[in-house]
Structure 1
Amino acid sequence: MTQLFLKSSLTQIKLQFFYIVILLTLLFGCISFQYANAAVRIGWTDQVDLAKLAQVNGTYRKALGERVDWQQYDDEFKMIHDLAVETLDIAPVGLIPLTSAVTAGVQVRIIAISFQYGNSSGLVVQNKSGIDKPEALIGKKIAVPFLTSAHYSLLKALEHWKIDFHQVQIINMPANKIEDAWKKHEIDGVYADGISLLHFQKDGHVLVTSQQVADWGSPTYTFWVVMDNEIVLKPYWLQPFVEATLKMVKEYNQNKDKLTVKSQDIISVAQLLKLSPEDTLTLLKGKEYFGQREQSLIFTRHLPGYLNQIGLFLRGLNVMNNVLSDYLIYIYPSFINDAKIK
């Protein structure tokens, strides 16, 4: 009887162990299936930049060895929201929405610089406005979407010229309304970016560019950002993503003069954004792209101060009540520093 009991117990233990092995196998199989079929979800906007070249030629897909799901946005704050609720993995986000988010406690991290705004962004004024020097802006109507890089650059330009922004009629206007106001001569100028700047230049002239504002000490960037838990859980794709970005920057900076309106990548980006190849090439070259050494230097020496500047800017507009004492924890330079670029 005792022997029978022992054999029965042993049989039950073996069966239980067998069932556990089966369940674990199924569980790991499901997890593997999910990872195998998961896509890296990358946000994108209508900016003409190197990320668009990666989008059309599959650079990130090849580097990551995974499917890439490109999700289009026209609102960077919405991108940060989707990062926070985990419906997006990585996003190109500017200084203002980023600083607003981290000051509010959103645990988002900068892992790389996508680009710096340059000559494809600037303050353009009507030729008939009589504005041929900065002092002539006083009393004039200048349109700009508030809480954008353009808004920040405009105020920094006025500060550089020692013009109180209250002396200028700065009008908060969404980008899709500005062109109509321009045509009706309801505004004297606009701080514009991208294809809008090129359109306004047809009967206007640029008073200052974002590149000049950057040279004066107030650069504006778009960063690649992720949530902090992505860094912990998914470094296996973040490192190759950053390395692919830096490799693309290196190749572009070495060969940008060889790009023409007939280059396949330029044609493909033009088709994606419904622009002419000529405008696409102009806007691509109107931004600055930084390599590994430059990005590492910016991350280490300059970025905390820039984020603090933006915080003070937003507090001055009564958008935020406080500025963080230190923005360093929101900057994650390890992927840049550890990148192996051939």
Structure 2
Amino acid sequence: MPTTRRPLLRAGLATLLAAPLATPALRRARAAAITFAHQDMVTPMRAGIADGSLARAAGAEIAWRKFAGGADVLRAMASGDVQIGEMGSSPIATAASQGMDVQLFWILDDIADAEQLVARNASGIADVAGLRGRTVAVPFVSTAHYQLAYVLEKAGLRPRDLRLLNMRPPEIAAAWTRGDIDAAFVWDPVLARLKQDGRVLVSAGDIARQGRPTFDGIVVQRRWAEANRPFMAALVKAIAARDAAYRAGPAAWTPESPEVQAVARVTGAAAADVPAALAAYRFPTLAEQASDAWLGGGAARALADTAAFLKEQGRVPAVAPDYGRFVTAEYVRAAAAG
């Protein structure tokens, strides 16, 4: 999610060479290891990463690599080092606007209230307008950055009216502890730390209701996915099963449960904070994923709206003519059929 003012992507982004379909492709995937870039968002699938069940269900070796933000994932995918990766809707819109040959194939979560703008209690900041002249941290080109820019504009604040710092979540936690920042827009597990001595000014859900929704998604190198369709369908089915298990009994996901302990290990969150963090998100079902609300059309519209806003902010050079080609429901439909 963080980035610099330099262009994120070079022209002619590399994608992996297409492999044969079906069983030979999966054999090749096992030999080379599929690299999946994940972040620290607190979601049910983390339990499947921890116990190896996602890789077993997908039938291939998966190398899980943890990244601090979506912009870092984006760069790794652009280099060809990563085949599959998690990004927020803002980095996905950035990737599409830059012409990166990737597709969004799964909505990891509807962010809802899982990202929040928090001000330090001692700062005396009572609302967004109170950020004038203060130091605020956010991972640049993240969903939080996109929404922060929107609420600042609504409050009549321009970038020069405050000191805005580009920080990854772990850096935000450290800066908060040192007292270097007055406020930050971020997600768990860092969000839980900030709320211990901070007050929430606005949440992602509040901003979504004003017409600026955000989500986290999983994207894949398009050509690689098309060459490995059986793996893609199996992976989607395994992730959907983890989400379904959580939706069926969230009360069972207590701090002492093996699932929550596993999520905590992968994300670095405190187990005591995981249940509340999970409850702040919405995890769409397979049917909802394929519907017009998400992969059937809604996600593409959200990416287009996000890209238009990012262009206004000078974060992308141009808006793509069609964001639908960067979204696919193919693997969700295949998982549902299987």
* Fold equivalence (TM over 0.5): yes
CA contact (8 A) 1:48 1:194 kept: yes
Query: Looking at CA atoms only, which structure, 1 or 2, has the larger radius of gyration?
Result: 1
1:277 aligns with 2:271: yes
Instruction: Report the secondary structure of 2:295's partner residue.
Output: helix
Distance 1:174 1:205 in 2: 20
The code of the aligned residue for 1:214 comes to A
CA contact (8 A) 2:102 2:326 kept: yes
2:126 alignment partner in structure 1: 132
Which residue of 89, 94, 109 maps to 1:100? 94
Distance 2:287 2:227 in 1: 26
Flag the 1:207–1:178 CA change in 2: closer, same or farther, 3 A: same
Flag the 1:180–1:42 CA change in 2: closer, same or farther, 3 A: closer
The code of the aligned residue for 2:311 comes to R
TM-score norm. by structure 1 comes to 0.81
Which residue of 282, 285, 291 maps to 2:285? 291
Distance 1:145 1:340 in 2: 35
Which residue of 155, 164, 167 maps to 1:174? 167
1:220-231 equivalent positions in 2, closer than 5 A: 220-231=214-225
Which residue of 178, 192, 198 maps to 1:198? 192
Distance 1:66 1:112 in 2: 19
Gaps of 5+ in 1: 1-29
Flag the 1:319–1:67 CA change in 2: closer, same or farther, 3 A: same
CA contact (8 A) 1:57 1:265 kept: no
Distance 1:262 1:338 in 2: 35
Distance 2:296 2:27 in 1: 40
The code of the aligned residue for 2:124 comes to G
Which residue of 144, 147, 165 maps to 1:150? 144
Flag the 1:170–1:313 CA change in 2: closer, same or farther, 3 A: farther
2:297 alignment partner in structure 1: 301
CA contact (8 A) 1:125 1:204 kept: yes
CA contact (8 A) 1:141 1:168 kept: no
Distance 1:309 1:83 in 2: 23
Deviates more, 1:67-76 or 1:189-198: 67-76
1:25 alignment partner in structure 2: none
Distance 1:84 1:140 in 2: 35
2:323 alignment partner in structure 1: 327
Which deviations, in whole Å up to 9, do the C-alpha atoms of 1:38-85 show, x marking residues without a partner?
433221222222231110133312321222221222243343343344
Which deviations, in whole Å up to 9, do the C-alpha atoms of 1:269-303 show, x marking residues without a partner?
32344442102333233322111232222222322
1:7-156 equivalent positions in 2, closer than 5 A: 34=28, 37-156=31-150
Which structure has more helix as a fraction of its residues? 1
**Identity across the alignment (%):** 22
Which deviations, in whole Å up to 9, do the C-alpha atoms of 1:227-249 show, x marking residues without a partner?
11123211010011112222222
Q: Count matched residues.
A: 312
The code of the aligned residue for 1:221 comes to F
Distance 1:78 1:188 in 2: 25
User: What displacement does 1:318 show?
Assistant: 1.8
User: What displacement does 1:126 show?
Assistant: 1.8
The code of the aligned residue for 1:201 comes to K
Which deviations, in whole Å up to 9, do the C-alpha atoms of 1:3-27 show, x marking residues without a partner?
xxxxxxxxxxxxxxxxxxxxxxxxx
Which residue of 237, 247, 257 maps to 2:241? 247
TM-score norm. by structure 2 comes to 0.82
Gaps of 5+ in 2: 1-23
Distance 2:175 2:226 in 1: 48
- RMSD (Å), alpha carbons: 2.6
Distance 2:31 2:100 in 1: 28
Distance 2:82 2:239 in 1: 18
User: What displacement does 1:34 show?
Assistant: 4.3
Distance 1:233 1:180 in 2: 42
CA contact (8 A) 2:38 2:86 kept: yes
